[in-house]
Structure 1
Amino acid sequence: MAKKHVLGIDIGGSGIKGAPVDLDEGEFATDRKRIDTPKESTPEAVAEIVAQIVDDFSKDIDKSSPVGITVPAVVHHGTVRSAANIDKSWIGSDAESMFSAAIGRPVIVVNDADAAGAAEMHYGAGRGNEGTVLVATLGTGIGTAMFLGGELLPNTELGHLHLDGNDDIETWAANSVREKEDLSWEEWAERLQRYFGHIEDLLWPDLIVIGGGVSKKSDKYVPYLHLRAPIVPAQLRNDAGIIGAAWLASHHRS
């Protein structure tokens, strides 16, 4: 009998991506599928696409395991409490019940940064670290995930700290800001130094993992950072959200 896998789906502002995940290896069991996020990205419109992806992979996934789904938002006990890069109508929606009804399977819905962090902790740059670990995704904004002893503290949202007169630190230090303001790598690193230095003073992480597409260029800015904790690039990059969603779904405690 062919081995069954757990499906992870990553909902982003531009695309909805999914793939069955081999949790023994921490990698896709087959090629992922991507569908553009609808212009009107309401819960109902997104649920239709999620159902299509689930149907496409129905023969490859374990029917006894929940489907893991990420959203770019705070998710508190299955209910969406914020909305970044998706329609504001998500706020207050019971996303787990909605998706479960749409696909006829149990569902676990999680914050996208938390999912990416879980993947890095169990298969990537944070693997085996039992201390305090910060995983930060630097992209359009700044997503964060915190772990202690390998356990996730959900929805930390440390990219929205108020610091040095900035009401939302990601509007000053995200990679999108570096591109928009045409900052040099060294100039951007000065902002990252202030940001990560502030987090170090508050939380004292033992390791900082940098995710997002810019992680593959870490050699251009990490050497300018002088932090107490080691800071390393993520290893799973764009696959992390799907892999982490599947892992969190399979390890969910009801």
Structure 2
Amino acid sequence: MNVFGVDIGGSGIKGAPADLDRGQLAQERLKVLTPHPAEPKTVVEAVRKVVTHFDWKGPVGLTFPGVIVDGHTLTAANVDKGWVGLDARALFSDALGLPVALINDADAAGLAEMAYGAGKDRKGVVLMHTLGTGIGSALFSDGVLVPNTELGHLELNGKDAEKHASAAAREEHDWSWQHWAERLDDYFALVEQLFSPQLIIVGGGVSRKADKFLPLLKPRRAEIVPAQLQNDAGIVGAAMAAAKLG
């Protein structure tokens, strides 16, 4: 079964049909740059460009980098503040002329990893973290999602944790892999203290380079592994959400 998913990120918007029988993309994805400023009108147009490229006519799943409740975007840390309080699901659905499911970006990636990837068949507490423009998080207890945790905004050393340890911060400050690993250690120590996970899955685009930084992390109680779907997890998870529309 193929369903369309779009992953809206702080730097890029990417989408493709996803094969939900196998948990992978059914076609090569299309990626466009996220407009800056990432205002609702310009982001909706970028999403429309991605969807129409495939001439897609069925339900569409969309991720968003913020808290999503009943289709409304309640926060917007790395996109324009015009999203706050917006009925974004209706906005996208009207623009596309298609049924739309809207879900937090890290929650979508986590759902995909729990169904098809590193979290499959894992019980207990599992945390998924997407390291990109910010730090996204998805929390699972015995496979059940606790939505909208947004743990990248926990306070760490007096600032948002994602300012301390995101992949974008590493690139901005040109940190070495070793230095970044030390900052990630600070973050993982914090979430481990709060949630006592058995497994931490590290996703986002930088997961393709997991061998450069995961071996540098300190040993923890939690097992820390790279996402198996890597940066396609958000698209697959978005498609999973759309599949529930029927």
Q: Aligned partners of 2:147, 2:189: CA distance in 1, in Å? A: 22
2:135 alignment partner AA: I
Q: Would you say 1:170 and 2:167 are equivalent positions?
A: no
Percent of matched pairs sharing the same residue: 54
CA-based RMSD: 2.1
1:198 equivalent in structure 2: 190
Match of 1:28 in 2: 25
Instruction: Map 1:51-200; keep pairs closer than 5 Å.
Output: 51-58=48-55, 63=58, 66-164=59-157, 166-200=158-192
* SS across alignment from 1:116: helix
Report deviation, 1:189.
Answer: 2.2
Give the C-alpha shift of residue 8 in structure 1. Answer: 0.2
Q: Give 1:162 shift.
A: 1.2
**Counterpart of 1:8 in 2: which secondary structure?**
strand
- Cα distance in 2, alignment partners of residues 54 and 183 from structure 1: 36
TM-score by length of 1: 0.87
Q: Is the 8 A contact 1:8 1:68 kept in 2?
A: yes
Residues 190 and 95 of structure 1: CA distance in aligned 2, closer, same or farther (over 3 Å): same
Tell me the CA shift for residue 208 of structure 1.
Answer: 0.4
Structure 2 CA distance for aligned equivalents of residues 213 and 55 of structure 1: 24
Change (3 A) 1:227 1:21: same
Runs of 5+ consecutive residues of structure 2 not aligned to the other structure: none
Q: What secondary structure does 2:233 align onto?
A: helix
Query: What TM-score results when the alignment is normalised by the length of structure 2?
Result: 0.90
Shift in alpha-carbon separation, 1:230–1:247, aligned structure 2, 3 A? same
Larger of the two Rg values belongs to structure: 1
User: Shift of residue 40 of structure 1?
Assistant: 4.6
The 5 Å alignment of 1:233-244 reads: 233-244=226-237
Cα deviation, residue 133, structure 1: 0.6
In the alignment, the residues of structure 2 paired with residue 193 and residue 202 of structure 1 have an alpha-carbon distance, to the nearest angstrom, of 14
Q: Deviations over 1:224-252 (max 9, x none)?
A: 32110110011111211111100122236
Q: How many residues align?
A: 245
SS at match of 2:102: strand
